[in-house]
């Protein structure tokens, strides 16, 4: 499915007049600078955006870097939002927020001030060059699943219909290093 087709009635550039809000899971990650500060600023900027509402946030976890390029520890969290924005418009918004908070794109998977990934866009399955949803590495990253289970416990896996939280390995625990003002767990 194309990224635009995933959002009925939505255009590439934004929101159609009849667009109904969709629940979306965003993953926030930071491994450079004031990591907790960057996540808090990102959440505040998302909250202030007129086209989206924060539904619920996970706590903030300290995680070991995966993938071999990043060297520093990450802070990771997941935010559930509700938005009428089309998937690519939402990706544009996330990337402009990353730039505003000082991210410079170097190598893929390198240390970064802020990374915002779209983990889920409702139950849409999107496989385009610019956007893949559900996120390609959602199922293999325990910290994504742990954060998602807090922010959106019933988030459905579009292929199985089961909640993603059902895949969460019970053995893995990451240190909690912070909460957002609107965290509910």
Looking up tokens 């849409």, which residue turns up? 124
Q: Is 98 in the site for Mg ion (CB under 5 A)?
A: no
CA distance 68 to 134: 23
Which residues are designated catalytic?
103, 112, 115, 117
Span 22-81, contacts to Mg ion by CB under 5 A: none
Indicate which of Mg ion, ligand A4P, none lies near residue 132 (CB less than 5 to 8 Å, by partner kind): ligand A4P
When CB distances to ligand A4P are compared, the closest residue is: 29
Judge residue 60's burial from the number of C-beta atoms within 10 Å of its C-beta, 0-12 exposed, 13-18 middle, 19 or more buried.
buried
Indicate which of Mg ion, ligand A4P, none lies near residue 104 (CB less than 5 to 8 Å, by partner kind): none
Judge residue 43's burial from the number of C-beta atoms within 10 Å of its C-beta, 0-12 exposed, 13-18 middle, 19 or more buried.
buried
Question: Hey, CA dihedral for 54, 56, 59, 64, is it positive or negative?
Answer: negative
Q: Shortest Cβ distance from residue 18 to ligand A4P (Å)?
A: 25
CA distance 110 to 40: 21
Q: Shortest Cβ distance from residue 138 to Mg ion (Å)?
A: 12
Provide the 10 A C-beta neighbour count for residue 109.
Answer: 13
Sequence-distant (6+) residues with CB within 8 A of 141 are: 66
| Contact stretch for Mg ion (CB under 5 A) within 90-98, 114-122, 131-139, 148-156 | 114-122
Of these, 23, 98, 111, 117, which contacts Mg ion (CB under 5 A)?
A: 117
State both tokens at 108: 């893929």
Of these, 4, 23, 98, 115, which contacts Mg ion (CB under 5 A)?
A: 115
Kindly tell me which of 4 and 115 has the beta carbon lying closer to Mg ion: 115
Establish how many alpha carbons lie within 13 A of residue 99's alpha carbon, considering only the half-sphere containing its beta carbon: 6
Indicate which of Mg ion, ligand A4P, none lies near residue 135 (CB less than 5 to 8 Å, by partner kind): ligand A4P
| Contact stretch for Mg ion (CB under 5 A) within 2-10, 68-76, 95-103, 109-117 | 109-117
Indicate which of Mg ion, ligand A4P, none lies near residue 130 (CB less than 5 to 8 Å, by partner kind): ligand A4P
Residues of this chain that interact with Mg ion (CB under 5 A) are 115, 117
């Amino acid at each position: 499915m194309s990224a635009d087709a995933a959002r009925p009635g939505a255009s590439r550039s934004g929101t159609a007049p009849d667009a109904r809000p969709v629940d979306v899971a965003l993953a926030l990650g930071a491994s450079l600078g004031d990591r907790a500060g960057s996540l808090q600023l990102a959440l505040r900027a998302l909250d202030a955006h007129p086209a989206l509402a924060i539904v619920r946030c996970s706590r903030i976890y300290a995680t070991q870097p995966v993938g071999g390029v990043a060297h520093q520890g990450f802070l990771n969290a997941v935010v559930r939002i509700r938005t009428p924005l089309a998937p690519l418009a939402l990706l544009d918004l996330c990337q402009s927020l990353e730039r505003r908070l000082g991210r410079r794109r170097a190598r893929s998977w390198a240390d970064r001030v802020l990374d915002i990934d779209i983990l889920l866009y409702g139950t849409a399955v999107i496989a385009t060059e610019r956007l893949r949803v559900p996120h390609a590495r959602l199922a293999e990253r325990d910290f994504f699943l742990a954060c998602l289970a807090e922010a959106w416990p019933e988030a459905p896996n579009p292929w199985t219909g089961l909640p993603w939280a059902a895949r969460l390995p019970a053995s893995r625990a990451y240190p909690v290093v912070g909460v957002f003002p609107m965290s509910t767990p």
